[in-house]
């Protein structure tokens, strides 16, 4: 299946929006080691905390997180929890391959938290997530890789924004039937092209990120 989000409770106007998805994260990533690069690293072996600063890249299999700063803590079972933050102009970026497909889930937010034990990734403030041609935006997005669900809200930390704030959950969901999907991917050459000004503005990433660096096999 290719659906990214099936929006539930569309009638819940500007509040919380729940959605389900079949966009599974790559299962093989669970058993891969975490590799990190940074300009500066500080380590506290007693507290099991590592702080990476400056052009940080975290790689775990197909999962890649890029940020200005990542703090990694490890529990007694060896599971890592990472908190990534960026700058005012450059948000941390998350990318991971979908299970069994040549497609990726990617997203951004002012803060990204990834828990390797629960396989949950959370995006806080100016949050954006994309899979295939589908995109969703909100102030908070939680992606659960195990239950294959998304929770997207107009307010911070899973709450609804206050009435009148103007904050809304916004999504672009492409048609899932084959004919419509084909028309979106390859419009008929005979159809007259609309002037650029007539095209509605598409939701885009907060930043343009270059392709991930290829990791050298150890």
DSSP string, 42-111: EEETTTTEEEEEEEEEEEETTEEEEEEEEEEEE-TTS-EEEEEE--SSS--EEEEEBTTSS-EEEEE-SE
Whether 125 maps to a domain, the answer reads yes
Whether 201 maps to a domain, the answer reads no
Whether 213 maps to a domain, the answer reads no
pLDDT in tens, 44-95: 999 999 999 999 998 988 889 999 999 999 998 888 899 999 998 999 999 9
Whether 202 maps to a domain, the answer reads no
Domain that holds residue 65: 6-190
Whether 186 maps to a domain, the answer reads yes
Distance CA 202, CA 193 (A): 17
Whether 106 maps to a domain, the answer reads yes
- The CA distances from residue 122 to 6, 22, 163, 180, 212, in Å, are 19, 18, 24, 32, 21
Give the contacts of 183 (CB within 8 A, at least 6 positions apart): none
CATH number of the domain that 14 lies in?
Answer: 2.60.450.10
Q: What is the pLDDT of residue 79?
A: 87
Whether 63 maps to a domain, the answer reads yes
- The CA distances from residue 176 to 105, 106, 118, in Å, are 17, 20, 30
Average pLDDT, integer, range 110-122: 92
158 pLDDT band, cuts 50/70/90, is confident
190 pLDDT band, cuts 50/70/90, is very low
CB 115 within 8 A of CB 63: no
3-state secondary structure of 130: strand
Task: Count structural domains, the chain.
Answer: 1
pTM equals 0.67
Whether 211 maps to a domain, the answer reads no
């Amino acid at each position: 299946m290719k659906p990214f989000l099936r929006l539930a409770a569309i009638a819940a106007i500007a509040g919380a929006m729940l959605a389900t998805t079949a966009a599974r994260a790559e299962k093989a990533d669970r058993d891969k080691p975490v590799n990190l690069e940074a300009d500066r690293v500080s380590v506290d072996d007693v507290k099991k905390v590592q702080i990476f600063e400056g052009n940080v890249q975290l790689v775990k299999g197909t999962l890649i997180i890029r940020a200005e700063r990542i703090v990694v803590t490890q529990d007694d079972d060896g599971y890592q929890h990472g908190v990534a933050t960026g700058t005012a102009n450059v948000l941390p970026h998350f990318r991971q391959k979908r299970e069994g497909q040549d497609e990726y889930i990617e997203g951004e937010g002012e803060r990204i938290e990834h828990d390797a034990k629960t396989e949950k990734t959370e995006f806080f403030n100016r949050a954006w997530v994309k899979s295939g041609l589908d995109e969703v935006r909100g102030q908070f997005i939680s992606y659960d890789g195990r239950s294959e669900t998304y929770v997207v809200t107009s307010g911070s930390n899973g709450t609804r924004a206050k009435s009148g704030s103007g904050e809304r959950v916004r999504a672009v969901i492409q048609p899932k039937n084959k004919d419509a999907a084909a028309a979106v991917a390859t419009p008929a050459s005979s159809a007259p092209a609309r002037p650029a000004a007539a095209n509605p503005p598409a939701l885009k990433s907060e930043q343009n990120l270059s392709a991930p660096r290829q990791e050298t096999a150890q």
